[in-house]
Structure 1
């Protein structure tokens, strides 16, 4: 056993020493539908990919650029290589956070042609937090404080086959990259 994981496409990926050439959309699109949100502590399966798809759709509904839409889709992509760690625990793991930030930056540079600016990150985080609010309400029946964040999409927590989610994730990725305005930021 080595210091790597073997990905869906058969690549050897070193999470603590990542190589950008080993980052692969097919691996991301395949793995994220298999990872359950909330560390599995939900009433029904809801994948990291489903959450990311909702974030991307919300960004599109808010009229954001294709770069932000794609950033929303990819904002948890590092989890396909590092797994998902619940927020309360993750904030205590400084080394993990540094590795995750490094890997996510690498993913953004590979697929967005640059890292995100602070303003772009704020847009992604706002959408991510809004979706998290609804995820917690729906998937845990856990009443969240305050008023529900305004969203522009209809959320549907129907469990879908992994393959269907994988295909939608991949389709949204390629649609967001096709628009030439994406490369202008």
Structure 2
């Protein structure tokens, strides 16, 4: 007989910081909060961890939200929110994993819909993401090789200060509180 305090988990799920489970086959039925997203993104390092110092997806997202037009700032903040669950897989590897891309798109659709983020993303968000990639390539990778994805984009002249995961999480949640539509902020 199973204990009433133990849940039997079946299927492709992950345990979230909140104690909830996220089901990759039924993301729309999963219980998750903005805190789960902020926590996950703040602990996921960009560039598969191969930057000179830790740099989280949460910090990247906050910066993107600040460089897009104000009307696109919320979408900019949330553009990588699904990575809280699927991770930040390097683009060259993603290109080799069509099944991963399907799962990522399904998770992304659920996460963005739940938080009222417009789909498709505004073009300014995609452009800011690529400009940030060029900026991060220079600032965090000390590299200016000719990457197809960043070709023709000038890096921003900005400083990217080091943030711990706890600092990045706090920055993400503060920016969310600043930008989120009232109805979605209450979840």
So what's the TM-score if we normalise by structure 1? Answer: 0.82
Q: Classify 1:156/1:179 alpha carbon distance in 2 versus 1 (closer, same or farther; 3 Å).
A: farther
Residue 149 (structure 1) aligned with residue 154 (structure 2): yes
The CA distance in 2 between the partners of 1:178 and 1:88, in whole Å, is: 34
RMSD over aligned CA atoms reads 2.3
The match for 2:73 is: 69
Higher alpha-carbon Rg? 2
Deviations 1:38-73 (A, max 9, x none): 0011111111111111100111xxx331xx211111
8 Å CA contact 1:35–1:48 kept in 2: the answer is yes
The CA distance in 2 between the partners of 1:98 and 1:122, in whole Å, is: 21
Name stretches of at least 5 consecutive residues in structure 1 with no aligned partner.
Answer: none
8 Å CA contact 1:45–1:159 kept in 2: the answer is yes
Superposed counterparts of 1:28-47, under 5 Å: 28-47=37-56
Q: Classify 1:168/1:20 alpha carbon distance in 2 versus 1 (closer, same or farther; 3 Å).
A: farther
Superposed counterparts of 1:3-152, under 5 Å: 3-19=12-28, 21-59=30-68, 63-65=69-71, 68-112=72-116, 115-117=118-120, 120-145=121-146, 148-149=153-154, 151=156
Deviations 1:132-167 (A, max 9, x none): 01111111111144565375xx63222122222111
Aligned residue pair count: 171
The CA distance in 1 between the partners of 2:118 and 2:30, in whole Å, is: 16
* 1:178 positional shift: 4.9
More relative contact order in 1 or in 2 (CA 8 Å, sep 6+)? 1
Deviates more, 1:10-19 or 1:156-165: 156-165
* 1:115 positional shift: 4.1
So what's the TM-score if we normalise by structure 2? Answer: 0.81
The CA distance in 2 between the partners of 1:158 and 1:106, in whole Å, is: 32
8 Å CA contact 1:70–1:173 kept in 2: the answer is yes
The CA distance in 1 between the partners of 2:155 and 2:70, in whole Å, is: 15
